[in-house]
Amino acid sequence: QTGLYFIKWLVLGSSVGALAGLASAVFLTSLNWATETRMAHSWLLYLLPVAGAIISFFYFKFGKNADKGNNLVIEQANGAIEEAIPLRMIPLVLMGTLATHLFGGSAGREGTAVQMGGALANQVAKWFKLVKNERSILLICGISAGFSSVFGTPLAGTLFGAEVLVIGLMRRDALFPSFVAAFVGNLVTLSFGIQHHSYAIGIIPELSVLLLLKVLVATILFGLTGLLFSRLVHFFKKTYQSLFKNPMLKSFVGGLVIILFTFMVGNQKYAGLSLELIDQAFAGVSGAFDFIWKLLFTALTLGAGFQGGEVTPLFDIGATLGSSLAHLMTLPPAFMAALGFIGVFAAATNTPIACFIMGIELFGSEGAVFLFISCLISYLCSGHLSIYSAQQIGMPKNQLFKQ
Amino acid sequence: QTGLYFIKWLVLGSSVGALAGLASAVFLTSLNWATETRMAHSWLLYLLPVAGAIISFFYFKFGKNADKGNNLVIEQANGAIEEAIPLRMIPLVLMGTLATHLFGGSAGREGTAVQMGGALANQVAKWFKLVKNERSILLICGISAGFSSVFGTPLAGTLFGAEVLVIGLMRRDALFPSFVAAFVGNLVTLSFGIQHHSYAIGIIPELSVLLLLKVLVATILFGLTGLLFSRLVHFFKKTYQSLFKNPMLKSFVGGLVIILFTFMVGNQKYAGLSLELIDQAFAGVSGAFDFIWKLLFTALTLGAGFQGGEVTPLFDIGATLGSSLAHLMTLPPAFMAALGFIGVFAAATNTPIACFIMGIELFGSEGAVFLFISCLISYLCSGHLSIYSAQQIGMPKNQLFKQ
């Protein structure tokens, strides 16, 4: 009986994993091309308003519910009234994300991978005629496989899928299926020669009361920054929507605003994924206020209807903030950048265990206690709003929030 | 508001942590003494029946509900009808465990630490006049602090407390308090100069389909071994109880049975904690059937009413089984011993995430994917019965078990 369970979910999970891994490989390869092209031709930024208008036109004309993005996948995995996750979501989000990055918007990539994974899982569920709860598990597989393959972190992917749907609960019955999907997805993506960045946490400072106090203060700030990010994305989305009834006009103006801000800062370092910011943060040479600029650029980009995702910008924001705090607190920059990297992410997504595991996968186990503190404290400080409005609250984070 | 929450649980969690850490330090020091004394004087084994009778006499005369041991702590943390966890549990379980180890019973130590932690937390809850849900969280703190300090693994302790109460759920609202308790408890124990064993996982074999298949087979066996252990302990407890109405007589006969079995195997290597078995397993020189003997000795010891706990024997059983399988499968012994170490434990306690984190804390992150597979698969294979009968089922482990 347990044998049957294993075989069933090995087959289903691997199918979703393989498809999502393939999609991620195509996506990451073309994203690399888009990033390099943009860096080589800085004038592409001037086309951002037009690109935005075109993305929004396609979503408006063909998107229907695909417009809901990540939230559609989360809603459906949570078992909302059944609604298809359409296959057209894949070309839409893929093209939308590539255009956003090619023309200098500031965005991430996990949203794209998760939506492609979700749409593919929805398709597999149809083929196998799965019942409601099984479909729900398969959608979690899609989320896990997308996340895992895009970042090269299969265990974080597994737990992200199980943890992101509901605050305070973990879908433990989905762990095996989503692990299979995440594991296979990652291998498939790697098999196409995709390489993931690696970061070294460096020296872990020796434990002391002073160090704990510094880390506590820093992680509270990580949590508040994550909160600020979620609030700001929601705020810009609402504001843009109420100002411009026409989505094409909205994204066009949104693109103009990005150009304006780019002139203000005088360079394009906040465009695209900004992976260099993370390298600079770990080396201790990022700018003191890089985090706030990256936060603003990303919120403005996503608020105006561009595509991509939030997670890589959250890594940028966290790592640069951590590095800035390291200078103030006379702590090693790489150590603090690593804590910020996962802490701000945990705060904005409400997935502390997945983020902790990601920390272990990326930075090793030597600083495990600090990684755990960072995820836990910033998660507790970020309130119940996350970047995913479809996320449910299963259990209040703490007693005081209940009131 | 969140600030108040932090301060409140920092104070409460640290209090429980400090008390439990102190108790663990006293316990581990005296346990070392008991183990060394037994090893130096093998004739102490002949006094095991009398020691058993005396332990059972004390529990019978003064124990009342303390007799329920770990299950009392779990029940109360789960919010059963309020029932005190009496302070007398501390001397009872401490003396009972020391006597069990001194006279050559086969048992562990986490039960003792968890019960002392639980009783101390119950006391702290009384002092601060906590309401029901707060008391429940504080009892989880006691479990976490006890576990953390006795094994030197604060993160595994944190998650063990949050995960052990209910299968398939994790008390996320207890994470911060129980982390504080586990962290402080571990530091306090360490400050008394207590040292914990460390094990090296050695070379991680390269990923291949064949390796995955071997690991899958091994982890299924780990799961079934964990299941066998739980069943056997329950079975011996029932059998002894139905055969002997008088608990003193029960433990006396139980002691005789252990002596008999010791004569059969011709040595005392399965007495006490048997930490040497783990060293031998990692070195690849443990006996092929050590795991089954240790399993039998421990089930017979605990079934007859001796005290201690199950976790260290589970480590022994898992590590030696892993090492035996390594020889059959031509894999590195240390690698397989590490997988068995945490896998059998995950199966018998139904706490896969805590066991995975323990693996990371003990063996580092290099083999993280395999550690995760081991905990997950063996957890899935072990059914819903665990060594803790008070554990509730929050969510069936998988679809097929539901029927």
Q: Which CATH architecture has domain B7-191?
A: Orthogonal Bundle (1.10)
Place of tokens 């007859």: B304
Q: Crossing angle for the helix pair B368-381 and A154-163, nearest 10 degrees?
A: 50
Q: Do A134 and B5 touch (CB under 8 A)?
A: no
Residue A190 token pair: 């790697």
* CA-to-CA separations, A123 to A16, A127, A129, A139, A191, in angstroms, rounded: 9, 6, 10, 10, 24
More confident residue, A74 or B227: B227
Which residue type is seen at A71?
N
Q: How far is B286 from chain A (nearest CA, A)?
A: 28
In Å, how far from its chain's centre is CA A36? 21
* Interval A203-219 mean pLDDT: 95
Q: Choose from A399, A402, A403 for mutation: most chain B CBs within 10 A.
A: A399
- pLDDT tens string B180-192: 999 999 999 999 9
Contacts of B154 in chain A (CB under 8 A): 369
At B398 the pLDDT is: 61
Yes or no: say if A352 and A364 are a contact pair by the CB < 8 Å rule. Answer: no
Assign A256 a pLDDT band (cuts: 50, 70, 90).
very high
In this complex, which of B168, B364, B373 lies closest to A173 when CB atoms are compared? B168
Q: Do B173 and A381 touch (CB under 8 A)?
A: no
Among chain B residues, the shortest Cα distance to A158 is held by B372
- pLDDT tens string A18-35: 999 999 999 999 999 999
CA quadruple A45, A47, A48, A49: dihedral sign: positive
> Whole-angstrom distance between the N-terminal and C-terminal Cα of chain B?
45
- pLDDT tens string B136-168: 999 999 999 999 999 999 999 999 998 888 887
Q: Do A400 and B5 touch (CB under 8 A)?
A: yes
Assign A164 a pLDDT band (cuts: 50, 70, 90).
confident
On the question of pLDDT at A402 being above 50, the answer is no
Among chain A residues, the shortest Cα distance to B207 is held by A187
CA distance A204 to A332: 8
At A274 the pLDDT is: 94
CA distance B106 to B298: 5
- pLDDT tens string B226-285: 999 999 999 999 999 999 999 999 999 999 999 999 999 999 999 999 999 999 999 999
Q: Choose from A375, A398, A401, A402 for mutation: most chain B CBs within 10 A.
A: A398
At B68 the pLDDT is: 85
Q: Where are the domains of chain A?
A: 2-191, 209-402
Q: How far is B398 from chain A (nearest CA, A)?
A: 5
Contacts of A176 in chain B (CB under 8 A): 376-377, 380, 398
Q: Do B5 and A380 touch (CB under 8 A)?
A: yes
On the question of pLDDT at A323 being above 60, the answer is yes
Is there a common fold for A2-191 and A209-402? Answer: yes
CA distance A237 to A230: 11
Percent of chain B with pLDDT over 90: 77
Q: Do A155 and B352 touch (CB under 8 A)?
A: no
More confident residue, A62 or B50: B50
What is residue B395's three-state secondary structure? coil
On the question of pLDDT at B121 being above 50, the answer is yes
Contacts of residue A301, Cβ cutoff 8 Å, sequence gap at least 6:
A100, A105, A106, A107, A254, A258, A308
CA distance A139 to A143: 6
In this complex, which of B353, B365, B398 lies closest to A5 when CB atoms are compared? B398
Chain B residues touching chain A at CB-CB below 8 Å: 1-2, 4-6, 133-134, 154-155, 158, 168-170, 172-173, 175-176, 179, 183, 352-353, 360-361, 364-365, 368-369, 372-373, 376-377, 380-381, 395-401
Superfamily, domain A209-402: Clc chloride channel (1.10.3080.10)
Contacts of residue B269, Cβ cutoff 8 Å, sequence gap at least 6:
B276, B277, B290
CA distance A150 to A188: 11
- pLDDT tens string A272-282: 999 999 999 99
Q: How many CB pairs under 8 A join A and B?
A: 103
CA distance A135 to A131: 6
- pLDDT tens string B49-91: 999 999 999 988 888 888 888 888 888 888 777 778 889 999 9
For chain A, the residue count is: 403
At B402 the pLDDT is: 42
Contacts of B397 in chain A (CB under 8 A): 172-173
More confident residue, B377 or B5: B377
Contacts of A397 in chain B (CB under 8 A): 172-173
Among chain A residues, the shortest Cα distance to B363 is held by A365
Yes or no: say if A292 and A90 are a contact pair by the CB < 8 Å rule. Answer: no
In this complex, which of A154, A168, A381 lies closest to B369 when CB atoms are compared? A154
Q: How far is B306 from chain A (nearest CA, A)?
A: 34
What is residue B393's three-state secondary structure? strand
At A400 the pLDDT is: 46
- pLDDT tens string A109-139: 999 999 999 999 999 999 998 888 889 999 9
Three-state secondary structure of chain A: CHHHHHHHHHHHHHHHHHHHHHHHHHHHHHHHHHHHHHHHCHHHHHHHHHHHHHHHHHHHHHHHHHHHCHHHHHHHHCCCCCCCCCCCHHHHHHHHHHHHHHCCCECCCHHHHHHHHHHHHHHHHHHCCCCHHHHHHHHHHHHHHHHHHHHCCHHHHHHHHHHCCEECCCCHHHHHHHHHHHHHHHHHHHHCCCCCCCCCCCCCCCCCHHHHHHHHHHHHHHHHHHHHHHHHHHHHHHHHHHHCCCHHHHHHHHHHHHHHHHHHHCCCCCCECCHHHHHHHHHCCCCCCHHHHHHHHHHHHHHCCCCCCCHHHHHHHHHHHHHHHHHHHCCCHHHHHHHHHHHHHHHHHCCHHHHHHHHHHHHCCCCHHHHHHHHHHHHHHCCCCCCCCCCEECCCCCHHHHC
Q: What is the mean pLDDT of chain B?
A: 92
Contacts of B175 in chain A (CB under 8 A): 352, 376
- pLDDT tens string B287-317: 999 999 999 999 999 999 999 889 999 999 9
More confident residue, B5 or A51: A51
Residue B159 token pair: 């998650």
Contacts of B365 in chain A (CB under 8 A): 360-361, 364-365
Yes or no: say if A304 and A296 are a contact pair by the CB < 8 Å rule. Answer: no
For chain B, the residue count is: 403
Q: Do B399 and A352 touch (CB under 8 A)?
A: no
Contacts of A381 in chain B (CB under 8 A): 2
Phi, psi of A69 (to 5 degrees): 60, -135
- pLDDT tens string A360-390: 999 999 999 999 999 999 999 887 778 787 7
Superfamily, domain A2-191: Clc chloride channel (1.10.3080.10)
Contacts of A352 in chain B (CB under 8 A): 175
Assign A398 a pLDDT band (cuts: 50, 70, 90).
low
Closest CA to B93 of B24, B38, B171: B24
| CB-based contacts of A263-270 (< 8 A; 24+ apart in sequence) | A265/A293, A268/A38, A268/A42, A268/A45, A268/A104, A270/A106, A270/A294, A270/A297, A270/A298
Q: How far is A80 from chain B (nearest CA, A)?
A: 20
Closest CA to A80 of A395, A387, A309, A391: A391
What is the value of ipTM here, to two decimals?
A: 0.92
B297-314 residues labelled b (16+ CB within 10 A) or e (exposed):
bbbbbbbbbbbbbbbbbb
Q: Choose from B172, B212, B221, B397 for mutation: most chain A CBs within 10 A.
A: B172
Q: Do A2 and B352 touch (CB under 8 A)?
A: no
Q: Choose from B398, B401, B402, B403 for mutation: most chain A CBs within 10 A.
A: B398
* CA-to-CA separations, A270 to A288, A311, B23, in angstroms, rounded: 14, 14, 53
